[in-house]
Amino acid sequence: MPDQEALEVALADLSDESENEASAAVEGEQQEPSEDNAAEIEQEAPAEEEKQAETEDTQTETKSQRRRRLRREREEKQADRLKFLEAENKRLEKRLGGIKEPDRRNYSNESEYLADRAAYNVRRETAQEDQQRLSTDFETTRAEEAQAFNDALMDFGAEGSEKYNDFTEKVSRPVEQGGPAITTVMTEALFETDHGVDIAYYLAQHPKESLQIAQMSPIAQVRKIYELEGKVSKANAPAKSAAPPPVKTVKSGKATARKPVSEMSMSEYAEFRQKQMGGGA
C-alpha cells in the first residue's frame, strides 16, 4: 500500500503543473489574438476615424448649421417613434378585431361558456389598457414635437439677439402693433436657411411685405423666404472699398543708364536740357 504522505505530495505537484499549464495557455491566448479579434480590431479603426471626422465636422459648423442639425435629429427620433406607435396601433386594432364575445346560444355546456366568457373579458380589458397606453404615448410624442419646435424657436431668437440688439422686440411685436406676420410655414423655412435671422429681421422692418407673404400658399411662402435669403445675403455682404485701384507702373524692357552731367559734352548737355524742357526725361 503506497505511502499516504508521498501520495499527497505527488497529487499536489500534479495540481501545480496543471495550473501552470493552464496559466501559460491563457497568456498565450492573450498575446496572440485570434483571427476574429484581429478582424474586430481592423473594423474598430475605421469606426474611430469616422467618429473623429464627425467630431471635427461638428466643431466647424456654424450656429445655424448646429441648430438645424439638432432639430433634424429630434425630428428623426420623433418620426421613428410615431412610426412605431402607428404600427402598434394597427396591430392592436387587428387584435381587437379578433376578440369575439362568446354567444351563449352556441354553447351546450355552461362551464365552457363561462370559461370562454372569462377569457374574453380578460382579453378585452388587456386590449383596452394597451389602447389607453398607446393613446398616452401619442399625446406624449406630440407634446415633445411641440416642445422641440419651441426649443428651436428659442434658439433662433437667441441667435437673432446676438446679431441684432432689438431682434426680439421687433420680430415678436404683434401684427396689430405693426409687427411682422410670420406663419408656421414661414418659421419652418426660416429655420432651414443660413440667413434666417436676417430674413426675420427684414420682415420685421417690412411688415406689409410679411403680410403679403403670409397670405400666399404654403409652397409660395417657402419660395419667397428663399428669395429673400438671396436678397439679405447680398445686403449683408462686406462692402467693397470705394478707393480707386492702385496705378500700375509700366517698366520698360531695358534700363538705360544716363551719363553724369559733369561728363557730358556741350552737344550732349544741350540735348539733355532739351529733353528736360520738353518733358522727355
Query: 21-30: long-range contacts (C-beta < 8 A, 24 or more apart)?
Result: none
Residue 279: pLDDT above 80? no
The C-alpha atoms of residue 72 and residue 63 are separated, in whole angstroms, by 14
Confirm if 256 and 223 have CB atoms less than 8 A apart: no
Q: What is the per-residue pLDDT for 20?
A: 54
Query: Is the entire prediction scored with pTM above 0.75?
Result: no
Q: What is the per-residue pLDDT for 252?
A: 47
pLDDT band at 100 (very low <50, low <70, confident <90, very high): confident
Q: What is the per-residue pLDDT for 221?
A: 92
Domain range annotation of the chain = 61-156, 164-234
Q: What is the DSSP letter of 264?
A: -
Confirm if 259 and 281 have CB atoms less than 8 A apart: no
Q: What is the per-residue pLDDT for 281?
A: 47
